[in-house]
Amino acid sequence: MRRSTACLAVFCMFAAPLFAQDVDMGRALYQTHCASCHGADADGQGPLAPALSLQPIDLTQLSSNAGGSFPLERVLKRIDGTDPLVSHGSPMPVYGPYFEGVANTPMKLPNGQPVLVPEPMADLVAYLLSVQGDQ
């Protein structure tokens, strides 16, 4: 009994963050940090888009543009700045430092590899997943 209780406790400790991704919080983060370039509807038509040398992409088509699979690793690297995109004189994202922090939220890459990311990044990605168009 003690062993199964201990196993359950360990599972809950690691599984809880998997379910902690909050789409509503991700939507709020998106509206605050991303919508000015990528548009309120994530369609790449934000009010600042015309001023950018590289036009923002339609974030609702990330999965379809990647062959039907959400490109999680690429998205995480763009958000945290490890795969920078210079579209307006400075690396994208402008708000990257906001998404830094303690990497305590597990996510799984398509190949099954687990990665830990800060909770705001996980919430933002959960929102981006929720807006993917038909695949």
What's the CATH number where 32 sits? 1.10.760
47: containing domain: 21-130
Please return the burial class of 48, using the count of CB atoms within 10 Å of its CB with bins 0-12, 13-18 and 19+: middle
Can you give the pLDDT at residue 27? 97
pTM of the predicted protein model:
0.78
Strand partners for 107: 115
Residue 10 domain flag: no
Can you give the pLDDT at residue 52? 84
How many domains, the chain? 1
Per-block mean pLDDT, blocks of 10 residues, the chain (135 long): 40 41 94 94 94 89 95 90 68 69 89 92 95 79
Residue 3 domain flag: no
Q: Which two tokens stand for residue 59?
A: 């974030």
Can you give the pLDDT at residue 90? 62
